[in-house]
Amino acid sequence: MTDTTDLTPLAEGVECEFMYAYESRAPEPAYTDLGVVTARIGGGVALAMRNDPSGGYWSKALGFGVTEPFTVRVLDRVLDFYREQGVGQAVLQLVPAVLPDGFDEIAAARGLEAGSTWVKLAARAGDVAAAQTRLRVGPVPAAEARRWADVLLAGFGMPAGGLTDMLAATVGEPAWRPHAAWDGDEVVAGGNLFLHGESASLNAAATALGHRGLGAQSALIAARARAAAEAGCRWLFAETGKPAPGTRNPSLDNLRRAGLVPLYERRNWVWRSTP
């Protein structure tokens, strides 16, 4: 990828919008049962899920610094939002380049702790490498939306139920292109794709434990990249965890093998409520 365009605004913008879409458009009764509240603050989004069965993944704030500066005032508005919603924990996903001067001290004064680091990657949608697998790979039909969603949730160690409803609701929506891999009639892997202008984002990829190592995710990356290109998207983005020294992250390996290139690393800042 030789284009010198700064892709950070596109990369952060598409992730911000797909997370907002997942939660803000969760169907009833899941929306109410999960306790979802969403807000647009300072150019980014803040997402709260008071009854998050995953233990805290879905309460997060991101997308800051794309359309307006990320300031201490914006930070305080985000933290006030989480206090008002009564969540026990939230994660702020912040690109280092947008942080105000002295942010480590600012964060410490507000009880924010530096957490894990994610890697943001990108490629031209039409340049992603093809991949082979014996599994059948294709779009998710409406009849298998819940089976697909449950495979994804199980892969991330999250329970079925309200989250199943939330993920399954993306099947058939114009901005989404959910894909699955089948072994015979069994859904054994899946991933989602979100379309936003000239950008598309790979997300929510997981494979059932007994079917790993068969190339499902590489084939799903390729299939979703084709879908993004066919929809007219120029850029394809993804994010995954940075492995600890001496370890590997298979998701990162798959994305790089497919041709996605790391753009930057982004810290997760963890906020926890105090009694």
Query: Within 10 A of 129 (CB to CB), how many other CB atoms are there?
Result: 13
Q: What is the DSSP letter of 99?
A: P
Query: Whole domain around residue 13: which residue ranges?
Result: 8-119+266-272
125 pLDDT band, cuts 50/70/90, is: very high
Radius of gyration of the CA atoms of the chain, in A: 18
Rounded CA separation 263/129 (Å): 18
134 and 252 belong to one structural domain:
yes
Q: Cis ω on the peptide bond leading into residue 275 (within 30° of 0)?
A: no
193-217 confidence digits (pLDDT tens): 999 999 999 999 999 999 999 999 9
105 and 134 belong to one structural domain:
no
DSSP 12-58: HHHHHHHHHHHHHTPPTTHHHHHTEEEEEETTEEEEEETT-TTSSTT
54 and 162 belong to one structural domain:
no
Structural domain contains residue 1: no
21-49 per-residue burial string, b: 16 or more CB within 10 A, e: under 16: bbbebbeeebbeebbbbbbebbbbbbbbb
Q: Are 123 and 260 in contact (CB under 8 A)?
A: yes
Residue with tokens 């709260």: 48
Average pLDDT over residues 144-161: 98
Query: Within 10 A of 188 (CB to CB), how many other CB atoms are there?
Result: 20
Question: Residue 114: in which H helix or E strand, if any?
Answer: strand 112-124
114 and 128 belong to one structural domain:
no
Average pLDDT over residues 152-178: 98
CATH assignment of the domain containing 221: 3.40.630.30
3 pLDDT band, cuts 50/70/90, is: low
Is residue 4's pLDDT more than 60? no
Q: Measuring CA to CA, how many Å separate 221 from each of 11, 119, 193, 262? A: 17, 17, 9, 16
Amino acid at position 141, single letter:
P
57-73 confidence digits (pLDDT tens): 999 999 999 889 999 99
226-263 confidence digits (pLDDT tens): 999 999 999 999 999 999 999 999 999 999 999 999 99
145 and 206 belong to one structural domain:
yes
Is residue 2's pLDDT more than 90? no
**In sequence order, what E strands does 125-260 have?**
136-139, 179-183, 186-196, 199-207, 235-241
Q: What local confidence, expressed as pLDDT, does residue 5 receive?
A: 63
137 and 230 belong to one structural domain:
yes
Q: What local confidence, expressed as pLDDT, does residue 274 receive?
A: 83
12 and 99 belong to one structural domain:
yes
53 and 148 belong to one structural domain:
no
135 and 91 belong to one structural domain:
no
Quote the pTM value.
Answer: 0.96
Q: Give me the residues paired with residue 89 across strands.
A: 272
Rounded CA separation 209/32 (Å): 31
For 193, half-sphere exposure in the C-beta direction (CA atoms, 13 angstrom radius) is: 29
Q: What local confidence, expressed as pLDDT, does residue 88 receive?
A: 94
What is the number of structural domains in the chain? 2
